[in-house]
């Protein structure tokens, strides 16, 4: 009798564990190719955030696509989300449902997949993972790619935002100097110092710690090395080990609210994902980031520098005049 009860109890535990596995797995932030391969067997939704041309060259079998997600889902000027009805239409037409368990991927190491994850979480998704190594990692594992567009069923979506994953500019200002909040600036050191100005002002949010998002990679200089042909592939953009990442963020408190920002929120989304993977409890993306903050002239800033519009217009006028001269000289030389 005791043996039979033990068998029943064991069966119940295994049954519950089996039922819970997909839900627990969906809570993971950063996953590898083996995880995604298993997820596909469970019919998990996979979203390829790259542009249509790259998708057509090869993608994970069954992966959905709406094209270059970061370009299509954001306003080109403010770089904030476009109106929600348009996002509903774009995601719906591609068959992408934020309510489903989802794996998002792009090219290895780039922030695009993390932006896709942030988008789904912003609109209510709770089981969204990123394959950091992207298509390159999938292919390196010897797994198949497809060039056929995945069959999709259009969805009629009604999306609502989830405020707790993001902060607004007004909320960011209220958090200044709060001992309960820590702020990470994921931009380059020159952006942080105010030398590289990409809004009406340069500088950074008071109290922010500068940890460029590329520091999450094995080799933070990989993009520059690729441009100079010093390396032949993107393996340096693989994620650092868990121990190295913990060391990178060792001065931060995982129990505190952590706000991450960059220029427009996209680089910040990668760092936010890494922090969540490390176990930080309350990570939020400042969506408008420095583009919103730097353009609000009464918002307190450190290392504040001012963008000289008049000087820029003067340089542009001089450049256009020079181009006009060169065009005339070229036309004369052809006669």
CA dist., res. 182 & res. 178, Å (int): 8
Q: Let me know if 334 is exposed, middle or buried by CB neighbors in 10 A (0-12, 13-18, 19+).
A: exposed
Question: Which of 252, 267, 253 lies closest to 217, judged by CA?
Answer: 267
Q: Is residue 178 within 8 Å of residue 274, measured between CB atoms?
A: no
Counted residue by residue, the chain has a size of 335
Residue that finishes a domain, picked among 161, 194, 213: 161
| 116, pLDDT greater than 60 | yes
Question: Angle, to 10 degrees, between the axis of helix 112-122 and the axis of helix 266-277?
Answer: 80
Task: For residue 328, tell me if it sits in a domain.
Answer: no
76 and 135 in one domain?
yes
Task: For residue 323, tell me if it sits in a domain.
Answer: no
Question: Which of 38, 30, 53 lies closest to 108, judged by CA?
Answer: 30
Task: For residue 324, tell me if it sits in a domain.
Answer: no
| 163, pLDDT greater than 80 | yes
pTM: 0.85
Torsion on CA atoms 34, 36, 41, 47, rounded to nearest 10: -160
Q: Domain tally for the chain?
A: 2
Question: Which of 97, 95, 74 lies closest to 159, judged by CA?
Answer: 97
Task: For residue 1, tell me if it sits in a domain.
Answer: no
- Spell out the residues 6+ positions from residue 244 whose beta carbon is closer than 8 angstroms to its own: none
186 and 122 in one domain?
no
Task: For residue 259, tell me if it sits in a domain.
Answer: yes
Domain that holds residue 223: 166-307
Residue that finishes a domain, picked among 161, 186, 202: 161
Residue 213 main-chain phi, psi, to 5 deg: -60, -25
Task: For residue 118, tell me if it sits in a domain.
Answer: yes
Q: Is residue 282 within 8 Å of residue 306, measured between CB atoms?
A: no
CATH number at residue 241: 3.40.250.10
Instruction: Supply the pLDDT for residue 332.
Output: 77
pLDDT digits (tens, 9 = 90+) for 280-332: 999 999 999 999 999 999 999 999 897 655 555 666 777 787 887 788 777 77
* Number of Cβ atoms within 10 Å of the Cβ of 308: 11
117 and 46 in one domain?
yes
């Amino acid at each position: 009798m005791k043996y039979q009860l033990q068998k029943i109890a064991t069966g119940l535990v295994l049954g519950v564990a089996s039922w819970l596995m997909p839900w627990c797995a969906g809570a993971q932030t950063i996953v590898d190719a083996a995880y995604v391969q298993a997820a596909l067997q469970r019919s998990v939704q996979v979203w390829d955030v790259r542009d249509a041309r790259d998708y057509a060259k090869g993608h994970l079998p069954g992966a959905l696509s709406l094209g270059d997600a970061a370009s299509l889902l954001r306003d080109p000027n403010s770089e904030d989300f476009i109106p929600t009805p348009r996002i509903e239409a774009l995601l719906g037409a591609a068959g992408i449902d934020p309510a489903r368990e989802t794996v998002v991927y792009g090219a290895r190491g780039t922030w695009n997949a993390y932006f896709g994850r942030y988008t789904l979480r912003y609109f209510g998704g709770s089981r969204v993972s990123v394959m950091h190594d992207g298509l390159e990692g999938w292919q390196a594992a010897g797994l198949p790619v497809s060039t056929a567009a995945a069959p999709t069923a259009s969805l009629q979506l009604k999306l609502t935002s989830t405020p707790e994953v993001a902060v607004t500019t007004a909320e960011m200002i209220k958090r200044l100097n709060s001992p309960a909040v820590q702020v990470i600036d994921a931009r380059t050191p020159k952006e942080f110092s105010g030398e590289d100005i990409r809004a009406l002002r340069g500088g950074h949010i008071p109290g922010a710690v500068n940890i460029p998002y590329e520091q999450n990679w094995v080799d933070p200089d990989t993009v520059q090395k690729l441009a100079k042909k010093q390396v032949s592939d993107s393996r340096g953009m693989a994620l650092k080990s868990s121990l190295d990442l913990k060391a990178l963020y060792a001065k931060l408190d995982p129990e505190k609210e952590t706000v991450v920002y960059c220029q427009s929120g996209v680089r910040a989304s990668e760092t936010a994902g890494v922090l969540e993977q490390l176990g930080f409890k309350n990570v939020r993306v400042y969506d408008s980031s420095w583009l919103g903050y730097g353009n609000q002239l009464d918002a307190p800033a450190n290392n504040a520098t001012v963008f000289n519009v008049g000087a820029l217009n003067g340089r542009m006028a001089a450049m256009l005049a020079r181009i006009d001269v060169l065009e005339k000289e070229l036309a004369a030389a052809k006669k």
